Amino acid sequence: MSDDDHHPHQRERFARIRRVKFLLRFMPRRAVFHKYPLVGRFAAIARKRSYLWSFKTAHIRPSLYAGSILSLLPFLGMQLPIALILALLLRANFMVLGGLQFITSPVTAVPIYYGTYQLGKAVISLSGFGHSIEVTDETAFNLSPVNTTGDVGEAESGSNPATPPAELRWNQRLGTRINALLLGGLIGGTILGAFLDLLWRIGARQAAAHRRKVLARKAASSSTESSPDSL
């Protein structure tokens, strides 16, 4: 094989290496694991578990889904410790699972959480699932003092014992909003994980096809060099 034939393949190889190095900048690597806050205390334990750093499909796919979902949930500041626990439980790649947590930062948190809240709110509105539990027991709402004198005039006018107080109604709205934020993060994270899983499958197939081509070229080159001259 001539030098001109080698150049395109070398450029393609170097381009892949540059892309991998660029992505590794945003991933928690084994060599610097001890420098990360909180999770750095478990560096010795993490380094002994090879699946946390393995790029096999069996370890990558769980990290894509779990990392995507966790990155969109409102756990800013606690994502890396939770990611490490999930990686240990799921036997997933921590580099990918932890690297996905950098999607949410103090800069991107507000628009991301607003988007997941709106998504969860729309799902709750359409399905009716996710509303905060409403208390309907009338005795829970009748907070006015009991009138023991029998004087109806002393009772508060216009009071409705079946109407919850303002504080309880506010708590119910807050609960529904929290449910919307969590539900939106779960749905959005699942969609993001499926998209990344699709990209991973496509990339894995392209890499496998590239390896087959390289092996075929090496086999053809070795057979050409070992064949005797026809003259």
Q: Is residue 226 in a domain?
A: no
d(CA 141, CA 135): 8
**Segment 23-41, tens digit of pLDDT:** 666 677 766 666 666 677 7
Residue 169: its pLDDT value, please? 57
Residue with token string 């709106």: 118
- Total residues found in the chain within this entry: 231
Residue 88: its pLDDT value, please? 92
Highest averaged pLDDT of the listed ranges 18-27, 112-121, 131-140: 112-121
Residue 115: its pLDDT value, please? 96
Task: State percent of the chain over pLDDT 90.
Answer: 33
d(CA 32, CA 26): 12
Of 52-61, 153-162, 179-188, least confident by mean pLDDT is 153-162
Total structural domains within the chain? 1
pTM of the model: 0.70
Q: Is residue 114 in a domain?
A: yes
**Segment 42-56, tens digit of pLDDT:** 777 887 888 888 888
Residue 140: its pLDDT value, please? 46
- pLDDT greater at residue 27 or residue 157: 27
Q: Is residue 230 in a domain?
A: no
Examine the pLDDT at 163 and tell me if it is beyond 60: no
Residue with token string 């606690």: 78
Q: Is residue 155 in a domain?
A: no
Q: Is residue 152 in a domain?
A: no
Q: How crowded is residue 217: how many other Cβ atoms within 10 Å of its Cβ?
A: 14
Of 68-77, 116-125, 201-210, least confident by mean pLDDT is 201-210
**Segment 67-120, tens digit of pLDDT:** 999 999 999 989 989 999 999 999 999 989 988 998 998 999 999 999 999 999
d(CA 174, CA 171): 5
**Half-sphere exposure (Cβ direction) of 146: Cα atoms closer than 13 Å:** 2
The predicted model gives 57-76 an average pLDDT of: 94
Q: Is residue 73 in a domain?
A: yes
d(CA 48, CA 50): 6
Q: Is residue 116 in a domain?
A: yes
Q: Is residue 228 in a domain?
A: no
Domain span at 169: 3-141+160-221
The predicted model gives 120-149 an average pLDDT of: 63
